[in-house]
Structure 1
Amino acid sequence: MLYPELPLVLAGPILRHTAPEVVTVWVALQKACTVELRIYHTQAIDDCLFTGKRATVALGESLHVVAVTAQTTLQPDQLYAYDLCFKFEQGECSLQEGLTSDRFPDVNLSYFDHGKPTFLLPPTQIEDLKILHGSCRKPHGHGIDALPILDSLLETTAAEIRDRPHQLFLTGDQIYGDDVSARLLETATLLGDSLLGWQEKLPLKSTFMTASELKPQERGEIATRQAGFTGGLGDKRQKVENHLFSLGEYYATYLLSWSQIGWAILKPTEPHLERFVHTLWQVRRALANIPTYMIFDDHDVTDDWNLNQAWCLRVLGRSLGRRVVQNALLAYAVFQGWGNTPERFEVEQSGARLLDAAQTWSASQGSDRAALQEIAKLVGMPPQDPKTGLPKFIQDGDVNILDRHPDALTWNFIIRSQCHEILVLDTRTWRGYPLDHEQVSQKIAPPRLIAPAALVQQLSLLQDSKHLTTFLVAPTNLFGLQVIDWIHHWQLRKKKVFSTDVGDAWNVNTDALAQLLTHLFKLRDSIVVLSGDIHYSSTIRLSYQRADSAPGVLMQLTSSAMKNEELITRIIHTRLKHWLLPEPKRKWFGWDHPPHMIERSKPIDSPDWKCELEWIPRRAAEHTDLSLDRFPVRAGLFHFNLFKFWTWKWIQDGREIVGVNNLALVSFTRDDSSLEVIHTLYWFSSWRPLEIVKSRFARSTL
């Protein structure tokens, strides 16, 4: 073992794709073994119902990962448990033995005396469904991490079939590859190199360097000039001073975000980071006890990832930029993507070939060029033009998209139960860019977040099962604050698109948004969108009307950030927002051929469709009985405590926005023929430190 004082299990188990016919559990270990997954009914906890086995993948000498699946026949409204057994060439050990060590003698991932993690399948009726979602979790971000609230919710409802949440969706920025604290980078570099057992040689201009040679607080110039990353442009160089570069650093950052174990090698010394680590045991227990699905946004790779054509040409035409993006995508595939779609990682599938290539490249200590090229192909890296070194594009209708090998993994997916379906979109790797990229204005133009053919392909998964309630996970918002729209268009005119992510919201490119809405409402009359990205939470209702069909409704439920609140989001969280800049009702008129929409307050002659958007006000904050593991509240935890009035509940109880760290719960109630969506945001009050409160948004949709 690399660290004998640490347990066998470095992170996990994390419960991933779970359905009546399959259960998948992900885990990261220090040693290679075969992992056996065992499924139980809690009413007969000693009788194993189903098993599944899979050998770990050697990502490094001391990093072995697996997502093991058991084939099952499970039923809704039943509480199930699972266990793991680790089998070596000589002997085996239980999950509890693998979780503990001299350094960590007490690790408990269960809410019950039997000691096993548990879970529920989604119910048969939509009124009983409970889904959690959240995004944007930066370890050293301001405020208290909201993801541990999930542990409190599960602890209080663990045995309650009607109250316990069924699924968790993490809708982007599960890690931050760009904006990293110095201490986390130092720990990730040391841990990553140690786990791999070798040091990756990163391609800089005219030389190679290892991650350990690129010190914290000294990476800004390299990240910006040699990798081409845009997160540090302008006066934001500090945002990339600690950018992750190596594959080992990306691997380690996942471990450090999901488990307290890796932090034993270097204790955190920054207050915000220290508080983050203090409650990681609750995050770990929660993720072991609820089926969890994940999709990337930009920070899982780097800020502005594939934002526009200028970014692609700038970054993917440089050796270091390409390597870092490829490292991030490989880490995403193993740590996030595998558990979403385990069938894509079965024998002879592209995912299995990727895992083989990752093992080969690591075993060669980074010297096997064929394995490196295979990784690039399978994670979807675009080939380079041999003359210019720039990434290749191919045409898709009236836009260009990044070229990729046909065997490359796809990241979008759909899951279904007896009462709902959730389509998770990939809005990062299938973007459509203007055909004429010689002009600067075209290079920085807002893209289609999904190119036309790719959009049809991703939405085609909704063709069946119209009786189900439909959810759409869109990591970047369809609609946002009107003032942000103004800022984006102003920044676009000034050609300063990277400073405010101009192009990452659907409604900046109205042609793409029109195509999305048209296709969605041809397939479904009502849609619930789960979104994140923007560091505030809200609920928006869009009514849609065509002359030739029934009216439609789209509810956009946004939850952001779990840990990354900022000064501006704290301000719009308060009553000042709706006093000074209330969100008005907004109207658009649209056409089908070609897809297009314009915003107008007065009617327009002969549109094919029209829609109206309104912001749903949140109700007054309510006390909850939830609590977190307590830690000392240090000076500076709450920015505005010097101004006592600012912490008053009356000031903090804004009507439109939850702008502090939060986690969201989606539930439903039915009244006669009307189905009401309830969006409940859990957050920490400022008037009573560490008190968890909730704000509710409710509106009929069906």
Structure 2
Amino acid sequence: MSEISFRDRLERLPLILAGPILQHTSSESVTVWVALKEPRRVAIEVYETADSGNVVGALAMAGERTTVALGRYLHIVAVTAQSQNGDFLRSGQIYAYDLSFTGTEGDRQTLQQVLTSPSLSLVPISYFPHQLPTFALPPEDLDRLQIVYGSCRKPHGKGYDALPILDSLLEHNAALPDFRPHQLFLTGDQIYGDDVADPLLYALTEVGDLLLGWQEQLPLLPSSKVSHLTSKQLKPGQRSKIACEQAGFTAGIRDKAELAKSHLFGLGEYYAIYLFAWSQVFWLEPFPKGREICQDRQAAKQWDRELKDLQQFASTIWKVRRALANVPRYTIFDDHDISDDWYLNQAWCLRVLGKPLGRRVVQNALLAYAVFQGWGNTPEQFQDGQSGAKLLEAASKWSASAGGDKTAEEAIACYLGLPESDPLTSLPKMRLDGQFLVLDRSPEALRWHYTVRGGSHEVIVLDTRTWRGYPADRDPIAPPALLCPSAFERQLRSVLQQARSNIKATLVISPTNIFTLQAIAGIQQWYLKQGKVFNADVGDGWNMNASGLAAFLATLFEGRDRVIILSGDIHYSATARLDYWSRRPSDSVVSDSEKSFKPHLLTQFTSSALKNSELMTQLIHTKAKSILMPERRRFWIGWTNLPEMIEVRHTDRSLPDWKCSLEWIPRQPIQIPEWGKNVPWLRGQQKPNWLYNFVKWLWQNRWFQEGKEVVGTNNLGLIHFDWYGNPSENAAIQDIYWYTSWGKPRVGFSRFRASLHLRQLPKNI
């Protein structure tokens, strides 16, 4: 797979390298993202449909925009359609959209024309005969809302990719506007910049340089023998040392150098991995075998093992591509979108941003996130004159100069929110925010958090990475508050104060969990005491900073009595219920009676991983976890003026500002929908011999796999509601879809039903 083969194939590839991906969609506008190999003026038209989506009708919205040149062969645009006659889109209706592409010579092509080419003759993009992508707005009735979400999708992760299940959900209900998925939220780790398979990095380096049209000079420490290296000089499987020593990354410092052996560095590599994650275009060329690349026999075997997992991943990308074209997609980053432990604590920030290569890689990764994900999340930030548009202009200039325009490079850092470096120490500048240190950034920096509102629900998407508060009076490795005080105000309090009578459900997306399994929390506390915070992401969960968690809960319940959290990150799926009782301000008598406390409810739904199943999560998926380590009910008390919380026994009779109780909701036995009984798009796995099959039967039989608390295999979450006239019967439901391990692969779901009824404070708490 040489550079020449990719360059020769480029002419035979379709104009569209990835997309169309439907992004921010509302009654007032529709945004669609595409990546092209040549510049175009892209026009979008949104149409009403009839006959259950089968007949395309009147034009409802239109818009156009010119692509932005991010490289010689990479041109990206998120084009937005808006109302032409003052009418708005409605729920309960299926809409179709079409794109057209006009070249510099005035030649115009349709969507179907630019999707295919001699090397890619068929690209399914629709569920209807008219071959146009479709969507439906969230319904006014909450009990018909369908929200899909997931996280952590590593191409060479073990197990089948769960994101293609979304395509099956859409296909099965495509003609039913109130029952097909209405929104998709990807809550972190859409890519793994730090953990890349060697064969994939081999391709990403070649494709990345080709897309850019130049080779980026990656800066090294002043003490190095050379001042710069290119991505091509940093071979797959050989990047651990430079990742740790030159960039300061922590992915490989856990005595597991292989975790960073193929870390992404170059901007082209970060651009390219999104194309490989969302499109089959660059997977068409067969990858070389290990013996063709590696001289070492063991390295060749490792290459071939990773290649096998990659081929399984690639075989179903066509379903992912079709799904992303037919449901509005919203995202937020987590650490692996940049690098493992990204902004984990103050020490990480000083270690990485204080090194030229570390800072450049963070900038490259965040720029790729901005143009491949952030643009479509908040298209209003990328309109003329806004920070996003200025970022696109700077990125285009920097690429046109082959990385030589320092002014453009500094502008990119500014709009991405990277802090300036202190000229004396080369360390990133920080400033005080209350009792916390935060990264100092330009007021023109893009905001990554946002809110999406539908007919009866709202989704508040938090940025818990770039606005962390690092305790100013503690060790640099101390767990941070995932939101600093000013971030609480901007991202939560100001949003929650915008009360709307039609909003019945408030969902908050936090990429990391609020609460985790007790055993995992105990392990993290042990690592923290040992000072080994990079061993188990100590500091990534809300539970590791008691004052930050206390402030988070208090802020949530200032504005809402019921909140649903959607999270990921931890490679298993579960549901937890937190009953929270706050002292009533009007209570003139300080007492501990149940009447002195107002009830609130937090429901935590977690879906993880889409493709990164691990042995430990597979184990807790089974009955072994339920029998040997069942989760017990836990209790805390807390205070609001100086936010703090402590865990207590249920017999504690202190007089705090609030009390809470946590319990885990069991999963119901798996159900197999009719469409899940036959999944021919999955490749069958080999069965080596009778002994292997016998051990597999013992481990993967249905009885053993029917655990009680979590789903630990690759999975995708679907949220919906039972909403009745009687509030005591209302419930939020999480269906976790996963692949069965017994018999032939099938798709089933485990249901978690969480009552939304507010409980009064029991007398024994």
TM-score (norm 1): 0.98
Which residue matches 2:563?
A: 527
Which residue matches 2:102?
A: 87
Mean Cα deviation higher: 456-465 or 560-569: 456-465
Q: Which of residues 704, 707, 732 in structure 2 aligns to 1:654?
A: 707
Is 2:485 aligned against 1:474? Answer: no
Shift of residue 632, structure 1, vs aligned partner = 3.5
Shift of residue 46, structure 1, vs aligned partner = 5.0
In 2: Cα distance, 1:212 partner to 1:516 partner: 45
Contact (CA 8 Å) 1:587, 1:599: kept in 2 or not? yes
Which residue matches 1:586?
A: 634
Matched letter for residue 382 of structure 2: F
Q: Secondary structure at the match of 2:10?
A: coil
Contact (CA 8 Å) 1:130, 1:164: kept in 2 or not? yes
Matched letter for residue 477 of structure 2: I
Which residue matches 1:343?
A: 380
Contact (CA 8 Å) 1:308, 1:503: kept in 2 or not? yes
Q: 1:77 to 1:628 in 2, by over 3 A?
A: farther
Mean Cα deviation higher: 288-297 or 541-550: 541-550
Matched letter for residue 462 of structure 1: L
Contact (CA 8 Å) 2:254, 2:534: kept in 1 or not? no
Q: Which of residues 479, 491, 496 in structure 2 aligns to 1:462?
A: 496
Contact (CA 8 Å) 1:586, 1:614: kept in 2 or not? yes
Q: Deviations over 1:360-394 (max 9, x none)?
A: 00000110000000001110111111111011110
Shift of residue 464, structure 1, vs aligned partner = 1.5
Is 2:314 aligned against 1:277? Answer: yes
In 1: Cα distance, 2:427 partner to 2:512 partner: 27
Which residue matches 2:76?
A: 65
Q: Which of residues 246, 251, 257 in structure 1 aligns to 2:266?
A: 246
In 2: Cα distance, 1:195 partner to 1:640 partner: 45
Shift of residue 63, structure 1, vs aligned partner = 0.3
Matched letter for residue 581 of structure 1: M
Shift of residue 492, structure 1, vs aligned partner = 0.6
Matched letter for residue 564 of structure 1: N
In 2: Cα distance, 1:104 partner to 1:267 partner: 17
1:601-680 matches, cutoff 5 A: 601=649, 602-624=651-673, 625-626=675-676, 627=679, 629-635=681-687, 642-671=695-724, 672-673=726-727, 674-680=729-735
Is 2:92 aligned against 1:77? Answer: yes
Matched letter for residue 683 of structure 1: W
Q: 1:470 to 1:640 in 2, by over 3 A?
A: farther
Which residue matches 2:36?
A: 29
Which residue matches 1:193?
A: 209
Q: Deviations over 1:230-260 (max 9, x none)?
A: 0100311101010000000000000000001
Contact (CA 8 Å) 1:152, 1:628: kept in 2 or not? no
1:228-267 matches, cutoff 5 A: 228-265=248-285, 267=287
Shift of residue 267, structure 1, vs aligned partner = 3.1
In 1: Cα distance, 2:688 partner to 2:391 partner: 45
Contact (CA 8 Å) 2:135, 2:327: kept in 1 or not? yes
Q: Deviations over 1:446-475 (max 9, x none)?
A: 000111121121101121234311000000
Matched letter for residue 557 of structure 2: F
Which residue matches 1:485?
A: 521
In 1: Cα distance, 2:476 partner to 2:520 partner: 22
Shift of residue 546, structure 1, vs aligned partner = 1.6
In 2: Cα distance, 1:116 partner to 1:85 partner: 12
What are structure 1's unaligned runs of at least 5 residues?
Answer: none
Contact (CA 8 Å) 1:35, 1:85: kept in 2 or not? yes
Contact (CA 8 Å) 1:15, 1:289: kept in 2 or not? yes
Matched letter for residue 644 of structure 1: W
In 1: Cα distance, 2:608 partner to 2:534 partner: 20
Q: Which of residues 619, 622, 625 in structure 2 aligns to 1:574?
A: 622
Q: Secondary structure at the match of 1:47?
A: strand
Which residue matches 1:6?
A: 13
In 2: Cα distance, 1:328 partner to 1:643 partner: 40
Shift of residue 693, structure 1, vs aligned partner = 1.1
Q: Which of residues 751, 755, 762 in structure 2 aligns to 1:696?
A: 751
Shift of residue 635, structure 1, vs aligned partner = 4.9
Q: Percent identity over the alignment? A: 52
Which residue matches 2:301?
A: none
Q: Secondary structure at the match of 2:63?
A: strand
Q: Which of residues 7, 17, 41 in structure 1 aligns to 2:48?
A: 41
Which residue matches 1:515?
A: 551
TM-score (norm 2): 0.90
Q: Which of residues 106, 113, 120 in structure 1 aligns to 2:136?
A: 120
In 1: Cα distance, 2:713 partner to 2:144 partner: 28
Which residue matches 1:368?
A: 405
Q: Secondary structure at the match of 1:541?
A: strand
Matched letter for residue 630 of structure 1: L
In 2: Cα distance, 1:108 partner to 1:386 partner: 53
In 1: Cα distance, 2:339 partner to 2:694 partner: 33
Q: CA RMSD in A?
A: 1.5
Contact (CA 8 Å) 1:77, 1:161: kept in 2 or not? yes
> Considering only CA atoms, is the larger Rg found in Structure 1 or Structure 2?
2
Matched letter for residue 120 of structure 1: A
Q: 1:336 to 1:636 in 2, by over 3 A?
A: farther
Which residue matches 2:234?
A: 214
Contact (CA 8 Å) 1:640, 1:646: kept in 2 or not? no
Shift of residue 578, structure 1, vs aligned partner = 1.2
In 2: Cα distance, 1:682 partner to 1:187 partner: 31
Q: Deviations over 1:497-543 (max 9, x none)?
A: 00100011101101000000001001100001000000000000111
In 1: Cα distance, 2:694 partner to 2:415 partner: 51
Shift of residue 47, structure 1, vs aligned partner = 3.4
Which residue matches 2:762?
A: none
Shift of residue 5, structure 1, vs aligned partner = 1.1
In 2: Cα distance, 1:340 partner to 1:463 partner: 22
Contact (CA 8 Å) 1:511, 1:596: kept in 2 or not? yes
Q: Secondary structure at the match of 1:45?
A: strand
Is 2:609 aligned against 1:561? Answer: yes
In 2: Cα distance, 1:493 partner to 1:394 partner: 27
Contact (CA 8 Å) 2:506, 2:563: kept in 1 or not? yes
Shift of residue 639, structure 1, vs aligned partner = 9.1
Shift of residue 689, structure 1, vs aligned partner = 3.5
Q: Deviations over 1:201-245 (max 9, x none)?
A: 000234211101111011110001110000100311101010000
1:278-317 matches, cutoff 5 A: 278-317=315-354
Q: Secondary structure at the match of 1:189?
A: helix
In 2: Cα distance, 1:222 partner to 1:570 partner: 33
What are structure 2's unaligned runs of at least 5 residues?
Answer: 1-6, 289-303, 585-596, 758-765
Shift of residue 605, structure 1, vs aligned partner = 1.6
| Alignment coverage as a number of residue pairs | 698
In 1: Cα distance, 2:382 partner to 2:145 partner: 29
